[in-house]
A and B are shown apart, each in its own frame.
Chain A
Amino acid sequence: MVILNSVDELLEHIKEVQLDVIDLSNQSLLSMSSYIEKNNLEIDEDISTALQYQDIITQQLNATIEAMESMKKSIHRFNHAFESDENLANESLTKLQEKLTLTLQDAKEKKNRFSGKLVEDNTDTDEIEFF
């Protein structure tokens, strides 16, 4: 289906942009941390937190990349079913919708999981917990 092929291409493009952003933010933070280490600069809590944001950015973007890959797979399956038998289109569309809903739920759950203390719901979480 032509429209789904366009969505697929768009997802691929967004995925590539996000991978570039991960790479750039990683390089930028590594340069800064290398400068701090070389010059023996002491960092306070704010700077430490800022440096750690990169890890969270990477995990968040990777989670959305996984969601896009899952969407692309579902679209490919639908297209394959549609091409082999157009009469199955309605059934395949329902399946596609179900898959996309699951992908969205999973992506939202990961957004919360990978935010650490940055999410409001998690602010009560003890930073360090000993067992």
Chain B
Amino acid sequence: MPLVIFVDDSETALASTRMVTNSMPIEVKQYTEATIALNEIKAGMTPDLIITDLNMPVMNGFEFLQGLREVPATKRTPCLMLTTETKAELKQQGKALGLTGWIVKPFNPAQLKQAITRVLRLPA
């Protein structure tokens, strides 16, 4: 099963995404700190999709994305930003860093499912 990792400092945000993904044919790992996720990736974890929040303490979503792109295994791994931010400049910044897409919170569960299905090319 494809591995999807979620990174968000809000535990309730992670719980909300868990309720959407628990019926999908994917393995899910969740992290409240981007540094921990990045360390596990550097240690050999190879996710098929990464979904991260932008505004987080310690390491924000862009810093995390930059870190991911420096690891050969995740240089091209699809990555979605899941955030309350809607500014076009931020989206452009994310695009320049190789972001696959931008999801605005609060998300619609069906649309989040569709986005994951589309990126991972799962059977609809």
Show the binding face of A for B, using Cβ within 8 Å: 26, 29-30, 33-34, 36-37, 43-45, 48-49, 51-56, 58-59, 113-118, 122, 125-131
Given contacts A37-B22, A129-B91, contact A116 B12 (CB under 8 A): no
Bound CA span A129–B94, Å: 12
**A56–B101 contact, CB under 8 A?**
no
The total number of A-B Cβ pairs within 8 Å is 114
| B 106-123 contacts with A by CB, 8 A | 106-112, 114-115, 118
Q: Among the listed B10, B19, B99, B105, which residue makes an inter-chain contact with A116, where contact means beta carbons less than 8 Å apart?
A: B105
Residues 67-105 of chain B, each 1 if its beta carbon lies under 8 Å from chain A, else 0: 000000000000000011111000100110001111111
Bound CA span A113–B86, Å: 7
Point out the residues of chain A lying under 8 angstroms from B20, CB to CB: 48
Bound CA span A127–B80, Å: 12
**A114–B55 contact, CB under 8 A?**
yes
Q: Among the listed A43, A49, A58, A126, which residue makes an inter-chain contact with B106, where contact means beta carbons less than 8 Å apart?
A: A49
Other than A37-B22, A116-B105, give 16 A-B pairs with Cβ distance below 8 A.
Answer: A30-B15, A36-B19, A37-B15, A45-B109, A54-B10, A59-B55, A116-B85, A116-B106, A117-B86, A117-B104, A125-B104, A127-B104, A128-B101, A128-B104, A129-B102, A131-B102
Point out the residues of chain B lying under 8 angstroms from A34, CB to CB: 15
